[in-house]
Amino acid sequence: MLKRYEGNPILKPIKEHSWEARCVFNAAVYYQEGVHIVYRGMGFDQISKLGYAFSRDGYRIDKRIAHPIYEPVDEVEKRGCEDPRLTRIGDRLYMTYAGYDGRKAHVCMASIKVSDFLRNEWKWERYGCILPKLPVPNKDDKNACLFPEKIGGRYALIHRIPPDIWISYSDDLRNWQDHKIIARPRKRLWDEAKIGAGGPPIKTDKGWLFIYHGVAWKDKKKKWFGTYRLGVMLLDLRNPEKVLFRSKYPILEPEQEYEEQGCVADVVFTCGTVLIGDELFCYYGGADTVICLAKAKLNDLLSLKE
């Protein structure tokens, strides 16, 4: 369903930049007069930091900043800031990401004025870990993304406490409650081991279009995670806890060398999608090593429900 860009990968590691010398992957995106890309970079110290690139046409990179625009500052994220997602609400961009302390991942958030972001003035307001008390103790919490508007008068956040996708609500973006599971892995399908969010949901007249990743088991004993693939859900506009549709088959799976071979084999993983005209541009990490692009007609994705 998603068609790869022939020029993939669009971003590769740069050996001369120590912070992104090993791999670049899992990018958040924001569209305004071009595609702004905030991506995860990692050097050989294994600490993830976030970089920035820009593409006027969504395909070719026109600008790439040589230094990180966001990096670890405290104990919660001392081993890395990972897998960002960007959502615009009002005049601010909110960035959710996983802070890794060396043992567990935590849902963290920061925000920035859109005007500062567009000028590449990185005046981030940090919120820290926004889900310090999990409904399931002693678990990683990651793959978080905000809805671009309030649901029932409250902010809504999708996140993943393994192996399920959850939703939580807040009045102030700092205190979250009413945690609920909205989707679980499915036995004997491509997403049977665990699932998690892709980019933030996109509003359509048929519901919230939500790209997610699913992971299969690598062996019959269910001890090792295998291939990462992408699928699609459609969530009810008024009640996103209600899944209207979920694809039986993946819409993208590792098939190219840059997706099958790298730091982590057999992975396609997205943190960001944008609509450009009538097409959905999906930016994804290939084998946790490079950043790639695939796209599809919006109506083709929505017609999967028919």
- For residues 67-71, average pLDDT: 98
Distances in Å between the alpha carbon of 97 and those of 27, 36, 137, 178, 199?
A: 11, 17, 19, 21, 11
DSSP secondary structure string, 90-125? TTEEEEEEEEE-SS-EEEEEEEEEHHHHHTT---PE
Condensed to tens digits (0 to 9), the pLDDT of residues 15-53 reads 999 999 999 999 999 999 999 999 999 999 999 999 999
Give me the domain span that covers residue 243: 3-305
Which band of pLDDT confidence, cut at 50, 70 and 90, is reported for residue 1? confident
- 12, pLDDT greater than 80: yes
Q: Is the pLDDT of residue 219 over 80?
A: no
pLDDT digits (tens, 9 = 90+) for 169-212: 999 999 999 999 999 999 999 999 999 999 999 999 999 999 99
User: 272: domain CATH number?
Assistant: 2.115.10.20
The reported pLDDT for the residue numbered 292 is 98
Q: What is the distance between the alpha carbons of residues 196 and 212, in angstroms, rounded to a whole number? A: 6
Q: pLDDT tens for residues 185-195?
A: 999 999 999 99
Give 73's pLDDT tier (boundaries 50, 70, 90): very high
- Candidates 302, 107, 148; CA nearest to 240 is 148
Q: How many domains does the chain fold into?
A: 1
Smallest CA-to-CA distance from 32 within 3, 56, 1, 12 is with: 56
- Tell me, yes or no, if the pTM score tops 0.85: yes
The residue among 135 and 231 whose pLDDT is bigger is: 231
Confidence of residue 133 (pLDDT cuts 50, 70, 90): confident
Q: Left, alpha or beta for 103 (phi > 0: left; psi -120 to 50: alpha)?
A: alpha
> What's the chain's average pLDDT?
96
Are 23 and 83 in contact, with CB atoms under 8 Å apart?
no
d(CA 82, CA 98): 5
Please tell me the predicted confidence (pLDDT) of residue 306: 63
State both tokens at 55.
Answer: 């593409």
Confidence of residue 124 (pLDDT cuts 50, 70, 90): very high
The answer for residues whose C-beta is within 8 angstroms of residue 46's C-beta and 6 or more apart is 22, 79, 80
- Res. 222: pLDDT tops 80: no
